[in-house]
Structure 1
Amino acid sequence: MLDDHPALKIRNLMDTTLQKAEKGAIIHGHYRYIDMYGSPKRPILVSMLRDPVDRFESHFYFMRNGDQDMSKEFVLKRLSPGMALPNETLDDCIEKDRGDCTSSLLRNMYVTSFCGYDPRCSEYPSFALEEAKRNVDKFLVIGVMEEYDLSMAVFEKLLPETFGGAAKIYEENKEHSMEKSKTNYKKLPSPKTYSILKQRMKYDYAFYDYVKKRLHKVAKKLGIGNCSGS
């Protein structure tokens, strides 16, 4: 049934949540892009990206070791057949062509997510990249973790009622937050593994670089920071 489509389910959830919240609401999660045109209360969209290989590496080791919030025993139950074994490293994953490191969905996570639910988003990464770029303009702003301070400054300037003081609060709690979310074990990938992953994630890197340049443009327009991006 049409009502069972993931995009409609999430849109209905957002519509219901926003209509019930008289003073507004913050909806946070890992969702693909959804066009909210025609909704009674259209949400303001913001997001944050991380360097694709760094994100992939962190997720790989989190799924085998957990963190302070999720135990190793809990996350190991979520490993699917064909994925790298619990004791294998990211280098092993690449060398042995494990499912984690060959899946097109994992390699093209950003372009697929920001493209949306069109079947072509999952099947054709070049299409997904161009569609994702178009959808970026529907977000108020997308920050990047590698320029967190700049991103927070832009967020605060554009949405002071939501992000006012966020940078100060983050700075005061940074060490605790980083320790709490730190993966229990990680091993840096070899230069060869890094190079292979970066090539496999070329579409995600193209999108990441596009978003970063847009962030610099927005920051420059707002008179924030030292922005060299064009």
Structure 2
Amino acid sequence: MAPVSTGTTSKKSEVKVFSLVTLGLILILAIIFVNNTLQIQEETKATRGYIRNLHFLPPHLRKQVVEVINRDSTEESTHEWGQPVQGTNFVIYYNAIPKTGCRSIARAAAFLSATQAMDTRFKLTILPEDILFNEGLIRQYVRQVDPPAIIGGHAIFVPFSAPQAYSSSIPVKYVNVLRDPLDRLISHYYFEQNGDSVHQASFFTVGTKMSLDDCLHDEVCKNKSYDKILKRTINQLCGARPHCGTLSRRAMLTAKRNVNHYTVIGLTEQLNTTVLLLERMFPSMMTGLHSHFRKTEVASLKKFKTLDKLAPSPATLEILRRDLAFEYEVYDDVKRKFDQLKAEMGL
């Protein structure tokens, strides 16, 4: 029998390896395609359900709302980032993310307002709890506030300047603060569980108090507390569109796009610098804010510190980092913009 050619055997091996690699790539692409398809179906279902609930509107208004909903998520947005605002004929919309230092800033702002002359003093008002996720009611509320003013609350992003049919006649400027997602989630979770020296624990936790480690393995706690907290930053920055209620890449991309509407978004890890940037961005309204912040900083940190936080286990930390991947994309993008603006302002 003639010996088998070494070259032939080598070629057969290469073909076999190539076939296995190709098959592997096809499987990976198929998995990605299925995941994306399921995500799109989920968001489409939410959108259709939202549109069905608009039947009470007159046809011409319903058509306009549907057009807003169906806007492509990659559309260009207005770029307000890092542009100082002169004068005081505007309202600042501070849709604060929970547990980012917002109450410390608001406290300093209240002291600043109290020292300003009556004809230039800005008002500090808080959105009612029952409208925080209702775009239409937030618009109505903002229209009733005369500038200068700061409107705060743990509310969703609202595009006040677009579309034109729904725009507010009052100029609205956006500010916010983000915190490292892992630190924010842990602090927010235990705030819901234990409160602080000002606020009691959330009613969601009554009868279900447990560590974050245990919560991840308890369906009631996970659904009522963890999942809600996990999505909070993306949901608030994304807005009222149906897909914003999901923790998805589309919601994350919309949130990143909306960041460009903000004059500045600060960082909890650099709260002093954040307050200085607020002064620089709104010189006519905010000059002196940093001085009041420094006077109240220690007391505010003690007053608003979450009680009885427990360090998660290494296994839990691994799950949290995985679950927070989308939020870290937003946070890292904001941090890059923040550091660049800080350098431009010489801070």
TM-score relative to the length of structure 2: 0.56
The 2-side partners of 1:217 and 1:204 are apart by 20
The AA in structure 2 aligned to 1:212 is K
Is 2:182 aligned against 1:53?
A: yes
Matched with 1:11 is 139
Aligned-residue Cα RMSD (Å) equals 2.3
Matched with 2:213 is 91
1:45-79: CA deviations, max 9, x gaps? 100111112111112111221212123xxx35333
The 2-side partners of 1:120 and 1:169 are apart by 40
What SS does the corresponding residue of 1:110 show, helix, strand or coil? Answer: helix
1:136-163: CA deviations, max 9, x gaps? 1111000010121221221111112333
The 1-side partners of 2:198 and 2:170 are apart by 33
Aligned ranges 1:58-97 → 2 under 5 Å: 58-71=187-200, 75-79=201-205, 85-86=208-209, 88-96=210-218
Which of these residues, 153, 159, 169, is aligned with residue 282 of structure 2?
A: 159
The AA in structure 2 aligned to 1:29 is G
The 2-side partners of 1:52 and 1:211 are apart by 12
Matched with 1:33 is 157
The AA in structure 1 aligned to 2:297 is K
1:11 CA drift (Å): 0.8
Cα separation, partners in 2 of 1:55 and 1:142, compared to 1, 3 Å: same
- Is the 2:189–2:225 Cα contact (8 Å) retained in structure 1? no
The 2-side partners of 1:149 and 1:13 are apart by 30
Pair member with larger Rg? 2
What SS does the corresponding residue of 1:62 show, helix, strand or coil? Answer: helix
Matched with 1:24 is 148
Is 2:314 aligned against 1:191?
A: yes
Matched with 2:324 is 201
Which of these residues, 230, 233, 240, is aligned with residue 107 of structure 1?
A: 230
The 1-side partners of 2:344 and 2:230 are apart by 33
- Is the 1:115–1:129 Cα contact (8 Å) retained in structure 2? yes
The AA in structure 1 aligned to 2:317 is Y
- Is the 2:235–2:246 Cα contact (8 Å) retained in structure 1? no
Aligned ranges 1:108-147 → 2 under 5 Å: 108-123=231-246, 125-147=248-270
Matched with 1:228 is none
The percent identity for this pair of structures is 29
The 2-side partners of 1:92 and 1:188 are apart by 12
Q: Which runs of 5+ in 1 are unaligned?
A: 225-230
- Is the 2:252–2:330 Cα contact (8 Å) retained in structure 1? yes
Q: Which runs of 5+ in 2 are unaligned?
A: 1-55, 62-130, 162-166
The 1-side partners of 2:202 and 2:151 are apart by 28
The AA in structure 2 aligned to 1:79 is T
The count of corresponding residues between Structure 1 and Structure 2 is 212
The 2-side partners of 1:179 and 1:102 are apart by 25
1:132 CA drift (Å): 1.0
The 1-side partners of 2:327 and 2:225 are apart by 14
Structure 1 range deviating more: 196-205 or 143-152:
143-152
- Is the 1:108–1:125 Cα contact (8 Å) retained in structure 2? no
What SS does the corresponding residue of 1:140 show, helix, strand or coil? Answer: strand
The 2-side partners of 1:9 and 1:190 are apart by 42
What SS does the corresponding residue of 2:343 show, helix, strand or coil? Answer: helix
1:167 CA drift (Å): 2.2
The AA in structure 2 aligned to 1:90 is L
The 2-side partners of 1:28 and 1:112 are apart by 16
What SS does the corresponding residue of 1:174 show, helix, strand or coil? Answer: helix
The AA in structure 2 aligned to 1:61 is Y
